Structure 1
Amino acid sequence: MSWVNVLPATKHPFFKTSLGFARRSFSRRLQWPSPQLKYLLTSAHWPTPSPGSSFAGRCRRLVTPCSSSSSSTNSVAGMELHEVVRTLEELAPTALAESWDNVGLLVEPSPPHCVSTLLLTNDLTEEVLQEAVRLPAQMVLSYHPPVFAPLRSLTMRSWKERLVVTALENRVAVYSPHTCYDALRGGVNDWLAEGLGKGSVTPLKTSEALKHLSQGSVHVTSAAKAADWPSLAAQLRAVSGLVLHTLPLQTANEGEESTVMLSMNCTEGALPETLACLSNNEHAHRHTEITALRKPPFPGTGMGRLCTLTEPVSTSTLVSRIKQHLKLPHVRLALGAGKSPDSTVRTVALCAGSGGSVLKGVQADLYLTGELSHHEVLDAVSRGVSVILCEHSNTERGFLPRLRLLLLDKLQHKLHIHVSEVDRDPLTVV
């Protein structure tokens, strides 16, 4: 029996065994097990299977390289996954994300992985993932991270686990930007602010500079007698996580001993050992000062937005503008104490998604967000602040069409980019 005759017989025992071995080989980045099997899995004579319908289909997608040229007007060159991720992180660095968030590349098929179609969604549900498989898309950008809490297993018991299993089986990469896009200048919060009307917009909580402190987070200064300096320097240089800066010898007045001024940066973890070294020297201990270092602010980026309207409007007018911007028939409104639908609004504090922690205590005429707890609404109302709630993802999802155009430009039109047609907020007004 020839190798070509084996091709259609996907249930043949040898075929199934070879495919399983090839799959294991690929996942471990090994070489092809045999020239015959390489022919079997890459042969142009193999009929193209329906995408995602079988392991054979996924295996063929696995060995499809990125093309540098296009044979038709409807095809694209595609990009390697690591190139797509690098471009996404150049657009919105992961350092912009909140410390509690889980952003970046969350699911990665074994390389090489060529991406020619990217699907954008606000939430990666099982329905959206099936949409990605049908396209077929090799990557999903999900605004909300589908993997947030650590997974202890990958089984079919829960929908979160099934998402990861299905994505890997179908070789679909998953990337999540979440609060990176919230903080980004021109991101989700700035898009939401556009629906209010003309005015100034500033972050409620400004992000810090993107790069981490390269030489520790604590600055320590001290002084030591010149005679003690060699032994003290040897002790300090032995401390891991400490960078010692040597300063010129300070010449003393007549009759006084010369001193050496010390300047050093260290990590929080290295601080106790650093202080222990300095405390062994009485002169150094008395002259030690500690300063906590922080990154400088990154203007224009950060969580939430404070919007000051050029021309104040009534609460009812603002409600109409928001409904039109978000394409919603209904929103929820809580009027602040002593306020009415005709009350004037000049300042609006907003936060896409869940704004409880970001908006807490902010002075504004009105809060705009997706959701607040019952008691957070009561607290705002008691202070005379009106509240508009639109449901969580309704304040985020409308950004995706704009993101699509932005990514097409950033990725140089090398990918097909689609916005999910089945992604929607789970709550509706009935």
Structure 2
Amino acid sequence: MLLSDVVKRLRLLAPLQLAEKWDNVGLLVESSAEKAVDKVLMANDLTSDVLNEAVQNRCQMIISYHPFIFKPLSRLTRMNWKERLVIDCIQSDISVFSPHTSWDAVSWMNNLNIIKCALGQPDMNLVDLLKSSSLQSLYPLSCEIKGKLILNRFSGDTFNESAEEIYQGLGKTAADEFAIVRSGAEENSMEVVSNYSLSKLANVKPLSVTELGTGTDHFGCGLKIQLPTPLRELDVINNIKHYLDLRYVRYCAGHKRTTESDVQSFAVCAGSGASVLKKVLGSVDLIITGEMSHHEVLDAKFNGTSVILTEHSNSERKYLTEFKNVVENIRLLPNCDLIISQTDKDPLDVY
């Protein structure tokens, strides 16, 4: 599969226009010529160790969740580690794609993974979760449906003509059924993501336009959940440690709360989520994110909300495995071998 086709298909699941305006997402390093991609290394952070791993595995592409080029580079020298990485990627002819907050805005991606882990149900799908719990984004996307909903059934590996027209040369897919909302611009592609993920991941028929509405409130930055049956706070802590494969988390009990307190509602935001989660302090029992400052934790505590901190990338890395499974199950990137990095890890440790 050509690099351009890989990028188009990755953008299908999470359109880059869903990313925060301050972010730097998409194809950050492009190979010297249009080339076939049959091995992709996936990591949370691109480091020299990760790049060496990609070279050793003969990968043509790296999907790095975090963009390793964030601020503009005024020069490329070997004096700075990020500049060295850019040079080495180019010399190794390895392309780099970073989705970052475009993944955060899609409800079944990073943040849902944290919620499922907290509940102790990592294999639960979004549809079943919506049936049993109230789930909504902290900052919902506003999206007006334009055009009409087109249901297409495919056989084998080929799009029919209407789907081919909508995706403008996306190519072939092995998906046998999904829903498409035809929009005038990609920033109105939330419905595409919604219907595609709900229908394929949950193995149910796509939603209708009426059922979908004009802007589902569980897409956007951060997620909040209201549980039908409360969980013990200590159980949530243990679930997070177990299902995110962590030796430890940092924890602060909310004012007048303990590890034995009931958790009826909680909110999550992958990475550094204080600015997103501050709007729910005092209205949820617990918040889960990667990192917060000392004063941000105090604000949560004395608003009566407990805090679980996993360290920044630990809240994100586990999702790479689920993403790999999704891509393979729906054959989004046929003939591409996705490899999870074994050298990528959070830089912080405890002794």
TM range (shorter): 0.7 to 0.9
Query: Which amino acid counterpart does residue 316 of structure 1 have in structure 2?
Result: L
Matched, 1:419 2:340: yes
- In 1: Cα distance, 2:111 partner to 2:229 partner: 20
TM-score (norm 2): 0.74
Secondary structure of the structure 2 residue equivalent to 1:161? helix
Matched, 1:351 2:269: yes
Give the unaligned 5+ runs of structure 2. Answer: 120-128, 147-213
Query: Which amino acid counterpart does residue 179 of structure 1 have in structure 2?
Result: T
Question: Which residue is 1:203 aligned to?
Answer: 137
Question: Which residue is 1:105 aligned to?
Answer: 27
Query: Which amino acid counterpart does residue 60 of structure 2 have in structure 1?
Result: Q
Is residue 120–residue 140 contact of structure 1 (8 Å, CA) maintained in 2?
Answer: yes
Taking the TM superposition and a 5 Å limit, the aligned residue runs for 1:358-377 are 358-362=276-280, 363-377=283-297
Query: Which amino acid counterpart does residue 310 of structure 1 have in structure 2?
Result: P
Question: Which residue is 1:149 aligned to?
Answer: 71
- In 2: Cα distance, 1:168 partner to 1:134 partner: 16
* Max Rg structure: 1
TM-score (norm 1): 0.61
Q: Are the structure 2 counterparts of residues 102 and 298 from structure 1 closer, same or farther at C-alpha, using a change threshold of 3 Å?
A: farther
Question: Which residue is 1:379 aligned to?
Answer: 299
Query: Which amino acid counterpart does residue 411 of structure 1 have in structure 2?
Result: L
Secondary structure of the structure 1 residue equivalent to 2:97? strand
Query: Which amino acid counterpart does residue 124 of structure 1 have in structure 2?
Result: L
Is residue 136–residue 217 contact of structure 2 (8 Å, CA) maintained in 1?
Answer: no
Of 319, 329, 336, the match for 1:399: 319
Aligned pairs, number: 269
What is the Cα deviation at residue 209 of structure 1? 2.8
Give the unaligned 5+ runs of structure 1. Answer: 1-78, 213-295
Query: Which amino acid counterpart does residue 414 of structure 1 have in structure 2?
Result: N
Is residue 210–residue 298 contact of structure 1 (8 Å, CA) maintained in 2?
Answer: no
More strand by share: 1
Q: CA RMSD in A?
A: 1.7
Is residue 144–residue 215 contact of structure 2 (8 Å, CA) maintained in 1?
Answer: no
Greater relative contact order, per chain length (Cα 8 Å cut-off, separation 6+): 2
Of 179, 182, 187, the match for 2:101: 179
What is the Cα deviation at residue 124 of structure 1? 0.4
Question: Which residue is 1:313 aligned to?
Answer: 231
Query: Which amino acid counterpart does residue 303 of structure 1 have in structure 2?
Result: C
- In 2: Cα distance, 1:389 partner to 1:413 partner: 37
Of 53, 57, 70, the match for 1:131: 53
Deviations 1:145-171 (A, max 9, x none): 000000011111111101110111111
Query: Which amino acid counterpart does residue 304 of structure 1 have in structure 2?
Result: G
